[in-house]
Structure 1
């Protein structure tokens, strides 16, 4: 399975989960590393765009990223069929428990941006993380029309 993320040029490949360990995220509390990926590059771009600060969304000021694709064995991804909308406190509790259990390398979850699409979370401390391979690492620039 090919999964995508956008990461800052200084953090490539960005699959150590350090940013989410420091700040937390929708599916993890601060202190626990998690790698957030999307099922497509387009979804990954939307996930980043929706989280940009307003001053970063201005035309001519959209940040530059690196598009990183990783290959992960489909069988390493659990999909418990989470509902499309959950409170962040609930999704963090679920994600934290999953990370601690180390029951699978990855967890398929609904996107908050497009609930019919899937994001995949990786546990960077899972033993199978050594099998994750970077397949693509290319500069990514948002089209300026996405700014305002």
Structure 2
């Protein structure tokens, strides 16, 4: 399986995580957020910038995930009604944090907060199998369409 990460060019040469908290992880938990498609990556990033085209040079990272690994899954129907709202971060962060700390799987499949029928994938870079199983196989240029506004 291939998952994708859209990032600034200066971060696209390796699989590192910042440890910054986000929807599915707490601070100092080192995970990489990826998506099942390049278009979902772009949409997720635009959501974080209020629809404003991000500045800078971007790259798409193609990350190979072996089909043999166990992937934990959180289905949207198992989540509270408003799980996608900012106010629900404590709920989703607890779910992701518990998964991270248990170390039972290298990856977790989660619904997109923007398109819940599509999936994002979180990769735990501190999992013992990370260096052996997860591979960055290709990096491509990504160009934002000029019709997206800039600030």
TM bracket (short chain):
0.7 to 0.9
- 4+ residue runs of structure 1 moved beyond 3 angstroms? 82-85
For residues 98 and 75 of structure 1, the distance between their equivalents in structure 2, rounded to whole angstroms, comes to 19
Cα deviation for residue 2 of structure 1 reads: 0.3
Deviation readout 1:9-67 (Å, 9 max, x if unpaired):
1112352211xx1x31000111111110000000011011111267xx26xx6432110
CA RMSD across the alignment: 1.9
Q: Does 1:78 align with 2:69?
A: no
Matched ranges for 1:1-148 at <5 A:
1-13=1-13, 15-18=15-18, 21=19, 23-52=20-49, 57=52, 62-76=55-69, 77-83=71-77, 85-86=82-83, 87-130=88-131, 131-147=133-149
Report if the CA contact (8 A) 2:107-2:123 is conserved: yes
Structure 1 unpaired stretches of 5+: none
Structure with bigger helix share is 1
Question: Structure 2-normalised TM-score?
Answer: 0.84
Cα deviation for residue 88 of structure 1 reads: 1.2
Report if the CA contact (8 A) 1:78-1:107 is conserved: yes
Partner secondary structure for residue 49 of structure 2: coil
Q: CA, structure 1 residues 111+143, in 2 after alignment: closer, same or farther (shift >3 Å)?
A: same
Question: Structure 1-normalised TM-score?
Answer: 0.86
For residues 14 and 7 of structure 1, the distance between their equivalents in structure 2, rounded to whole angstroms, comes to 11
Q: CA, structure 1 residues 45+81, in 2 after alignment: closer, same or farther (shift >3 Å)?
A: same
For residues 88 and 75 of structure 1, the distance between their equivalents in structure 2, rounded to whole angstroms, comes to 31
